[in-house]
Homo-oligomer: A and B are copies of this chain.
Amino acid sequence: MREVCIVGVGFSPWGEVWRHSLRSLYVEAAQAAIRDAGVDHVDSIYVGCMTGGLFVGQEHLGPLVADYLGMRGVPAAHVESACASGGMAVRQAFLEVASGVSEIVLAGGVEKMTDCTGDAATAALATAADQEYEVFNGATFPGLYAMMAQAHMHRYGTSRDVLSAVAVKNHHNGSLNPVAQYQFEVTMEQVSNSVLVADPLRVLDCSGITDGAAAVIVTSLDVAKSLGRPYVRVTGSGVATDSIALAQRSDFTSIPSARLAVQRALAMARRELKDIRFAEVHDCFTIAEIMILESIGFYKPSAAGPATLAGETALDGRLPINPSGGLKAKGHPVGATGVAQVAEGFKQLTGRAESGRQIKGQPTIGLCHNMGGSGASSVVHILEAGQ
């Protein structure tokens, strides 16, 4: 298997982006990544997107973006794993370069979520759950994660303050990220007193509805070296699944797919969890960050909350988590999220994180965890500084 690297990253504007359509969001991020990498072509294109069909009535996204990038003819495909679609796009680019079939692959993710009503967006997102059982009976994702939060609170005594502390930390990081949808700080009181969505989750526990795209350029080690710029090696890639319905799990307080995908990625990278210096994880709701940190094994069950309250996961803590601001503050254009995580990892490992967001001592190994549904899929990548 060939070694695989990332050599450039790019973003579109994120937020309620009225002047862009799905295709132009993707193109803007992709062009930025291509410029950043300094490559003059790509051999293949992946598009991570959850559901262009339900959000904007457009499938067949591979040729669509190739066309609007001025790259008619170039191979292109759309990959989906709900909110882990972006991570899966990076995964497929990784496999294509590793196989030797292509040298330079564009992996981008995109979602245009604000062109439909809020009800339609909630319904579109719910197609990541089990349509025949969960959705048929009225489940939505805030409801599913609220049940997980209730279970976690019941078993481990997790407090309202723990959830709020995740939001406060991630909004602080997001306030330093020029691409973030919510570039402002929030206080513990603001989070704890914000509007209730699904008990115990309040609106400031939830990631946003976001338009946005992110892109990375994936290539072989030989090409990466030849470009003469800082690059990042993708040393591990791991995917795992679980039951699609939350009700069919034996435990609501952990996310087995996160653990399994991390184990697979670490095994490929020949690394251990203790080697990881920072991580981007899938904080679609505040409780998700807590459960993921415990499921991955960064903390024992019940220990991630106290660690968060103690500042261990802050930007200047022992193990910075979501230096980008996470889904919580950066926004969550579903298909873009997993690619944006890898782009943040690239920035941190090459010393390019903007506005005081750079982790001290420039880390050399990071982890990105992207998740679909209530944990039915996880995609993990291990990133290491190139030199």
Chain A interfacial positions (CB closer than 8 Å to B):
1, 21, 23, 44, 50-54, 56-64, 66-67, 71-82, 88, 91-92, 95-96, 98-101, 124, 127-132, 135, 237-245, 248, 256-257, 260, 264, 268, 372-373, 376-377
Contact assessment for A59 and B101 in the assembled complex, using a CB-CB cutoff below 8 Å: no
- Known contacts A1-B99, A72-B242, A127-B52: A373-B63 contact under CB 8 Å: yes
Q: What's the minimum C-beta distance from A222 to chain B, rounded to whole angstroms? A: 15
Q: What's the minimum C-beta distance from A1 to chain B, rounded to whole angstroms? A: 4
| A60-B377, A63-B241 known, 17 other contacts, Cβ within 8 Å | A44-B239, A53-B53, A57-B131, A57-B135, A59-B127, A60-B81, A62-B241, A63-B244, A63-B376, A73-B256, A76-B377, A77-B91, A80-B80, A92-B95, A96-B99, A99-B100, A101-B268
11 contacts between A and B (CB under 8 A): A1-B101, A53-B54, A59-B128, A63-B243, A67-B244, A71-B241, A72-B243, A76-B81, A92-B92, A95-B101, A96-B99
Question: Which of A50, A66, A248, A260 lies at the interface centre, i.e. has the most chain B CB atoms within 10 A of its CB?
Answer: A66
Contact assessment for A53 and B51 in the assembled complex, using a CB-CB cutoff below 8 Å: yes
Q: In the complex, A244 Cα to B64 Cα: how many Å? A: 6
For A237, what are the chain B residues with a Cβ–Cβ distance below 8 Å?
101
For A372, what are the chain B residues with a Cβ–Cβ distance below 8 Å?
60, 63
Contact assessment for B75 and A78 in the assembled complex, using a CB-CB cutoff below 8 Å: no
Contact assessment for B76 and A60 in the assembled complex, using a CB-CB cutoff below 8 Å: no
Q: In the complex, A361 Cα to B2 Cα: how many Å? A: 41
| 9 closest cross-chain pairs (CB), A and B | A75-B239, A63-B376, A99-B99, A63-B241, A98-B99, A60-B82, A59-B127, A58-B131, A1-B100
